[in-house]
């Protein structure tokens, strides 16, 4: 078994059920917009969606509000900090359409229990 603390942030997010939203299309102001890279090593929650941007700025999302990432992702204490909080949350302003209708069909584990 590998070293749990040696895994990359992306590996930890995937294992925790996060979905890589890079390249998906969100609706912003009634218009489609491609989800692109964001500010690396940031996270936030908005309107029932939580995002974590990995070290390369790839957005990983999960349905559900998260107050404490360490509750969802083991051994993430090294990454967490107040300086990491505050980020744009893709798919959080479309009335929940993507996380409610699309995400469960393509990636069911990205629903926070």
Residue 39 lies in a domain: yes
Specify if 27 maps to a domain: yes
Is residue 42 within 8 Å of 84, Cβ to Cβ? yes
Q: State which residues form the domain around 50.
A: 4-101
Domain contains 112 = no
Give the pLDDT confidence score for residue 98 in this predicted structure: 84
Is residue 46 included in any domain, yes or no?
A: yes
On whether residue 110 sits in a domain, the answer given is no
What total of structural domains would you count in the chain?
1
In a domain, 113, yes or no: no
Kindly state the DSSP code that residue 60 receives in the 8-state scheme.
E
Q: For residue 103, which of 15, 11, 25, 44 has the smallest C-alpha distance?
A: 25
Would you say residue 107 lies in a domain? no
| Ordered per-residue pLDDT tens for the chain, 113 residues | 455 557 788 888 888 889 999 999 998 888 999 999 999 989 999 988 999 999 899 999 988 888 778 777 877 766 766 568 889 999 888 877 888 888 888 877 766 65
- Is 109 among the domain residues? no
| pTM score | 0.83
């Amino acid at each position: 078994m590998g070293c749990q603390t040696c895994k990359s942030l992306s590996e930890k997010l995937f294992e925790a059920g996060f979905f890589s939203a890079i390249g998906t299309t969100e609706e912003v102001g009634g218009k489609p917009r491609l989800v692109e890279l964001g500010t690396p090593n940031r996270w936030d929650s908005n309107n029932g969606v939580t995002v974590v941007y990995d070290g390369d700025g790839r957005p990983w999302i999960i349905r559900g509000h998260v107050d404490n990432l360490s509750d969802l992702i083991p051994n993430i204490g090294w990454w967490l900090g107040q300086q990491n909080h505050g980020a744009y949350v893709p798919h959080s302003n479309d009335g929940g359409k993507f996380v409610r209708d699309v995400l469960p069909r393509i990636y069911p584990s990205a629903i926070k229990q």
